[in-house]
Amino acid sequence: MHPALQGLLTIFIGVGGCVGYFYGANLFLDKVLFKAEGPNAGRNINRANMIRPWLFLMPALLALGIYLAYPVVATLRLSFLERLPGNEYAFVGFDNYTKMFAEPKFMEALRNNILWLVIVPAAATGFGLLAAQLTDRLSWGNIAKSIIFMPMAISFVGAAVIFKLIYEARPEDVAQIGILNHLYLLFGGAEPQQWLQIPFWNNFFLMAVLIWIQTGFAMVILSAALRGIPEETVEAAIIDGANPFQIFFKIKIPQIMSTIVVVWTTITIATLKVFDIVFAMTNGQWETQVMANYMYDKLFRANDWGMGSASAMIIMLMVTPILVWNVYNARKEMQ
């Protein structure tokens, strides 16, 4: 069957199935299981209302359980096992972890990931804040915002192609088609550089891609937060003779601190999972490995599920503080 047809059929079955399930289950609950009539009507209505939330939640809980909760446990389990020929597993304790930490490529991935974690959220939030503040009172601010926000819609792979064109290096005696090398030569560089092959610094050229994508996100949220600042506080500062920089850093920033933290952590999570950019641009060569790509290498190229799972757990471990913090905040808010 043609995949497009199959897709249509799936939409039909999926949507029909969902609607059918919700409608049918409700009908069953009200008309068959606990009829709202007869001598037990009151009790039946109460019973039906106790069950109904779970009816509504069931498909979601199933999907969340199978696709997110179970894998965490299963991956944890896999990380302590070694796969033997013939689909058998042997318990090896922390062997996978110790082996992994002994690998230079893993340490490189860990170092790079930490570098990404420090720089990308900081730079994206910083640029976002700058863009939000600068465009705030501008007559064409919305157009500017739209353009800075636009990379959000572009895939990491698309962005990888875009930036590869920027970093492109051609031999010295022909015209440069990568704008970075063009500018580099224009401002006195000696010879064209292969930007993605200069160890250590190439990490920054990869980070630029993610910063470029995430800045718009930071800008949109921070600009809403800036607009939420009570006018009186700014006016009072002006009357007291504060200069624009003092107003920005001493009056505005403290008031939107909580939003900055939210933006920062959201970008941190996105950074932790960064895979496509490295996969498409360098594939971890020239010392640009990151955790997610290292894990992909282990799982699908080396076919080492034990070490792959162990490295996935490291990513999970790095996310956990944010997870706990988010849950803590959500609970606080609900009370």
Partner 1 sequence: MDAMAGRKPAVVWALNISVVALVALWLFPTLGLFISSFRTGDQITASGWWSSLFPAEQTLQIRAADPDDNRIDLGNGRFMVEGNIFDGQGFEGEMKSWGTSSRALDANAPGDAADLGDGETFTLNADGTYIWEGDDDQISGRAQRVFIGVTSPPDFTIQNYNFVLFDENNSEGMAKAFFNTLTVVIPATIIPILIAAFAAYALAWMEFPGRALLIAAVVGLLVVPLQLALIPLLTLHNAVGIGKGYLGVWLAHTGFGLPLAIYLLRNYMVGLPRDIIENAKVDGATDFQIFTKIILPLSFPALASFAIFQFLWTWNDLLVALVFLIDASGQTTVMTKQIVELLGTRGGDWEILATSAFVSIAVPLGVFFAMQKYLVRGLLAGSVK
Interaction with partner 1 in 128-187: which residues (CB under 8 A)?
Answer: 130-131, 133-135, 137-138, 141, 144, 146-166, 168, 170, 174-179, 182
Which tokens is 131 given? 């863009």
Which tokens is 162 given? 């875009």
In sequence order, what are the residues at sequence separation of 6 or more whose Cβ sits closer than 8 angstroms to the Cβ of residue 118? none
295, 297, 307, 310: residue in contact with partner 1 (rule CB under 8 A): 295
Contact 96, 79 (CB under 8 A): yes
Judged by CB under 8 A, the stretch of 102-110, 117-125, 192-200, 242-250 that binds partner 1 is 242-250
d(CA 209, CA 235): 38
- Tokens 């009357």 correspond to 239
Which string of x and - marks every residue 36-65 that binds partner 1 (by CB under 8 A)? -------------xx-xxx-xx-xxx-xx-
d(CA 170, CA 19): 58
**Residue 153 is which amino acid?**
A
DSSP single-letter state for residue 241: T
Q: Which is nearer to partner 1, 203 or 296 (CB)?
A: 296
Judged by CB under 8 A, the stretch of 97-105, 112-120, 194-202, 320-328 that binds partner 1 is 320-328
Q: Which is nearest to 116 in space by CA: 213, 208, 194? A: 208
Residues in the chain: 335
Query: SS3 for 38?
Result: coil
Q: How far is the CB of 190 from partner 1 (least distance, A)?
A: 19
Size of site (CB under 8 A) for partner 1: 123
Q: Which is nearest to 131 in space by CA: 45, 43, 212, 27? A: 212
Q: How far is the CB of 284 from partner 1 (least distance, A)?
A: 14
Answer yes or no whether residue 332 interacts with partner 1 by CB under 8 A: no
Residues 208-227 that bind partner 1 (CB under 8 A): 212, 215-217, 220-221, 224-225
Answer yes or no whether residue 254 interacts with partner 1 by CB under 8 A: no
d(CA 172, CA 239): 59
Judged by CB under 8 A, the stretch of 11-19, 93-101, 110-118, 197-205 that binds partner 1 is 11-19
Residues 102-121 that bind partner 1 (CB under 8 A): none
Q: Which is nearer to partner 1, 14 or 199 (CB)?
A: 14
DSSP single-letter state for residue 32: I
Q: How far is the CB of 4 from partner 1 (least distance, A)?
A: 6
Q: How far is the CB of 291 from partner 1 (least distance, A)?
A: 8
Q: How far is the CB of 25 from partner 1 (least distance, A)?
A: 9
Other beta carbons within 10 angstroms of residue 12's beta carbon come to 10
Judged by CB under 8 A, the stretch of 97-105, 118-126, 199-207, 310-318 that binds partner 1 is 310-318
Q: How far is the CB of 54 from partner 1 (least distance, A)?
A: 7
Which tokens is 266 given? 């959201």
Answer yes or no whether residue 330 interacts with partner 1 by CB under 8 A: yes
**What are the angstrom distances between the C-alpha of 94 and each of 76, 82, 99, 190, 293?**
11, 11, 9, 50, 22
Q: How far is the CB of 319 from partner 1 (least distance, A)?
A: 5
Answer yes or no whether residue 33 interacts with partner 1 by CB under 8 A: no
